[in-house]
């Protein structure tokens, strides 16, 4: 199995999840931060995993652009989709389905949520203000859902 994980990450939490996921997957796994380029030779891979973090309800623009640009080719691959964020419960499913093309959601072998992190050392002033006001969180907080990463990897490996 030849796999690539393409992802968007602003402050590194999604990247942390990508590294953990890569270790759990069988076969060769390439990683591509979409900030560093979206020109991926899709034909080289059987399996494409796409992930990103959510800010104000939206996944990174480069993740959406990658999915839109390559939709037809992606539909023929083994697809996995995930998001990272601090929302919990029903909001997570809404965030996932609103941020990925419905056709990709339908064909995905695994789709999941890996948790999130508020990193007060890295956030800018406005972000800290928003997080304090909306989420009522006033210091750094991490919620990395290792079991969800393992469950996702198992589904992709089977
Ligand atoms: C200004 C701001 C807005 C955010 N909005 C959302 C949101 O709408 N939904 C959500 O689930 N998480 C939200 N988050 C949490 C981020 O998705 C979370 O911090 C994530 O782990 C960031 O991952 P990254 O470091 O890979 O970018 C927000 C965080 C910040 C700082």
Q: What are phi and psi of 14, to 5 degrees?
A: -60, -40
Those residues of the chain that have pLDDT short of 50 are none
Q: Whose CA is nearest to atom 10 of ligand 1?
A: 85
Q: Say how far apart CA 91 and CA 58 lie, in whole Å.
A: 12
Choose which CATH entry (3.60.21.10, 3.40.50.360, 3.20.20.10, 3.40.50.300) describes domain 2-157.
Answer: 3.40.50.360
Give the pLDDT confidence score for residue 1 in this predicted structure: 75
Confirm if 28 and 4 have CB atoms less than 8 A apart: no
Specify the pLDDT at position 150: 98
Length of the chain: 158
- 148 contacts 84 by C-beta, under 8 angstroms: no
Is the separation of the CB atoms in 147 and 130 below 8 Å?
no
Nearest ligand 1 atom to the CA of 91 is: 11
What would the pLDDT profile of 57-71 be if each residue is shown by its tens digit?
Answer: 999 999 999 999 999
Rg, Å, the chain Cα set: 15
Q: How confident is the model at residue 37, as a pLDDT?
A: 87
Each domain of the chain, given as residue ranges in start order, spans 2-157
pTM of the complete model: 0.97
């Amino acid at each position: 199995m030849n796999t690539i994980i393409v992802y968007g990450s602003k402050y590194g939490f999604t990247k942390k999840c990508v590294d953990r996921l890569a270790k759990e997957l069988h076969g060769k796994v390439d990683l591509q931060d979409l900030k560093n380029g979206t020109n991926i030779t899709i034909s080289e891979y059987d399996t494409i995993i796409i992930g990103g973090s959510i800010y104000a309800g939206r996944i990174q623009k480069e993740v959406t652009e990658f999915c839109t640009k390559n939709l037809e080719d992606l539909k023929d691959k083994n697809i996995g989709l995930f998001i990272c964020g601090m929302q919990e419960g029903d909001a997570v499913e809404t965030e996932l389905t609103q941020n990925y093309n419905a056709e990709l959601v339908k064909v995905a072998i695994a789709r999941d949520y890996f948790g999130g992190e508020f990193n007060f050392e890295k956030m800018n002033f406005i972000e800290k203000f928003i997080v304090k006001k909306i989420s009522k969180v006033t210091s750094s907080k991490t919620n990395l859902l290792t079991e969800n990463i393992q469950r996702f990897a198992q589904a992709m490996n089977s």
